[in-house]
């Protein structure tokens, strides 16, 4: 086997070559292993197969003119939604026949997150691989809850959780994968400051390869609440303010514009440099965040 063939077959990106015959009909010429696994067909089955037998929407002229096109895979596992794919076409030159390289990306997990954002509040979203490691992470509120902490990619999601919560989360993730069902859970983070932890309200949705193996798990965080580590303690007001701003998708600039309070004052309140503002300032901020002043400043 030629080196170029070995490289093509072992690339992780799903790739296929589509040939256009004299009657202007398309068919697959060759596909790599990643493409075959994605669509659930061996290379032998794909060879000579028209693309419209695989995809719900197929228009060669439109594909080549738009460069990228979203479609669904016609074949799917019983009980699962059809895979959502992003196809990219690139015309090949110096070939005996008209042909183009087709790249396929599975966007099912991201599409689910986007769909959830259209129907409910979503503060955070992400995609875990089959080892429960964060592959992609999305933040939808404008201002960090904790400026020096975030959920980086290529890390285990449970690395950010309170020790008592880790096993519970892993159990739910395994159940999600095995039962092929969506799950909801509320988990508590580690202490990000000396005076607060976060309760994260999380929903999961698993996605699978056509051979039935787990591919990834999409998740969203629909709510965040600040919690005092000790029941006898109170949460720092600056932490509560940051969390409420995130829950309302409000940046410091937006809060300033809505309330007429200076950015400098809001920044000092967020950073804890002002413990408690004047009564009118507290009232304006609380109204903008749809709570009573006592929720932020007990």
Question: pLDDT tens, position by position, for the chain (298 residues)?
Answer: 789 889 999 999 999 999 988 777 899 999 999 999 999 999 999 999 999 999 988 876 666 666 788 899 988 777 778 899 999 988 888 888 889 899 999 999 999 999 999 999 999 999 999 999 889 999 998 877 755 455 555 566 666 787 778 888 888 899 889 988 888 999 988 876 656 788 999 999 999 998 889 999 999 999 999 887 776 678 889 989 999 999 999 999 999 999 999 999 999 999 889 989 999 999 999 999 999 999 999 8
Q: Are residues 180 and 210 in the same domain?
A: yes
CB atoms near residue 160 (< 10 Å): 20
Q: Are residues 207 and 292 in the same domain?
A: no
Q: Are residues 71 and 160 in the same domain?
A: no
pTM of the model: 0.85
Does residue 125 lie within any of the structural domains?
yes
Does residue 241 lie within any of the structural domains?
no
Q: Are residues 129 and 183 in the same domain?
A: yes
Closest C-alpha to 186, from 161, 211, 217? 161
Supply the pLDDT for residue 194.
Answer: 56
Closest C-alpha to 29, from 41, 44, 11, 8? 44
Supply the pLDDT for residue 157.
Answer: 64
Q: Are residues 101 and 113 in the same domain?
A: no
Question: 14 near 34, Cβ under 8 Å?
Answer: yes
Domain count, the chain: 3
The residue among 106, 134, 161 that closes a domain is 106
Q: Which residues 6+ apart lie within 8 Å of 123 measured at CB?
A: 139, 140, 141, 221, 222, 223, 224, 246, 247
Supply the pLDDT for residue 104.
Answer: 96
Q: Which residues 6+ apart lie within 8 Å of 148 measured at CB?
A: none
Q: What is the CATH number of the domain that holds 82?
A: 3.30.450.20
Q: Are residues 123 and 81 in the same domain?
A: no
Cα 75 to Cα 80, 87, 209, distances in angstroms = 10, 16, 12
Does residue 239 lie within any of the structural domains?
no
Does residue 219 lie within any of the structural domains?
yes
DSSP 33-90: HHHHHHHT--HHHHTT--GGGTBSS--HHHHHHHSEEEEEBS---TTSPPPEEEEEEE
Q: Are residues 175 and 266 in the same domain?
A: no
CB atoms near residue 14 (< 10 Å): 21
Does residue 165 lie within any of the structural domains?
yes
Does residue 60 lie within any of the structural domains?
yes
Does residue 91 lie within any of the structural domains?
yes
The residue among 66, 91, 106 that closes a domain is 106
For 18-36, write each residue's pLDDT tens digit.
998 877 789 999 999 999 9
Does residue 135 lie within any of the structural domains?
yes
Supply the pLDDT for residue 120.
Answer: 94
Q: At which residue do the structure tokens 């919560």 appear?
A: 165
Supply the pLDDT for residue 293.
Answer: 96
Q: At which residue do the structure tokens 């738009």 appear?
A: 66
Q: Are residues 178 and 69 in the same domain?
A: no
The residue among 59, 87, 106 that closes a domain is 106
Q: Are residues 72 and 14 in the same domain?
A: yes
Q: Are residues 64 and 159 in the same domain?
A: no
Supply the pLDDT for residue 233.
Answer: 74
Q: Are residues 210 and 262 in the same domain?
A: no
Q: Are residues 102 and 188 in the same domain?
A: no
Domain range for 10 is 3-106
């Amino acid at each position: 086997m030629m080196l170029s063939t070995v490289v093509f077959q072992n690339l992780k990106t799903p790739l296929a070559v589509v040939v256009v015959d004299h009657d202007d009909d398309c068919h697959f010429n060759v596909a790599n292993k990643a493409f075959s696994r994605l669509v659930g067909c061996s290379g032998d089955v794909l060879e000579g197969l028209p693309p419209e037998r695989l995809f719900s929407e197929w228009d060669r002229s439109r594909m080549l003119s738009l460069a990228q096109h979203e479609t669904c895979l016609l074949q799917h596992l019983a009980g699962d939604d059809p895979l959502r794919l992003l196809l990219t076409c690139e015309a090949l030159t110096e070939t005996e026949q008209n042909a183009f390289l087709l790249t396929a990306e599975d966007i099912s997990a991201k599409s689910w997150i986007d769909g959830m954002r259209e129907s409910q509040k979503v503060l955070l979203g992400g995609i875990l691989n089959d080892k429960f490691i964060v592959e992609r992470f999305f933040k939808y509120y404008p201002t960090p809850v904790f400026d020096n902490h975030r959920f980086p990619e290529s890390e285990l999601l449970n690395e950010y959780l309170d020790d008592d919560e880790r096993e519970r989360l892993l159990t739910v993730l395994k159940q999600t994968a095995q039962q092929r069902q969506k799950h909801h859970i509320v988990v508590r983070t580690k202490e990000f400051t000396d005076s607060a932890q976060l309760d994260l309200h999380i929903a999961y949705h698993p996605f699978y390869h056509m051979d039935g193996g787990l591919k990834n798990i999409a998740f969203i965080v629909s709510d965040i609440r600040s919690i005092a580590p000790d029941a006898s303690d109170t949460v720092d007001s600056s932490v509560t303010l940051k969390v409420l701003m995130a829950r309302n998708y409000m940046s410091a600039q937006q809060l300033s514009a809505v309330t007429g309070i200076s950015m400098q004052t809001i920044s000092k309140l967020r950073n804890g440099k002002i413990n408690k503002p004047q009564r009118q300032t507290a009232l304006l901020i609380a109204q903008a965040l749809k709570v009573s002043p006592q929720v932020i400043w007990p």
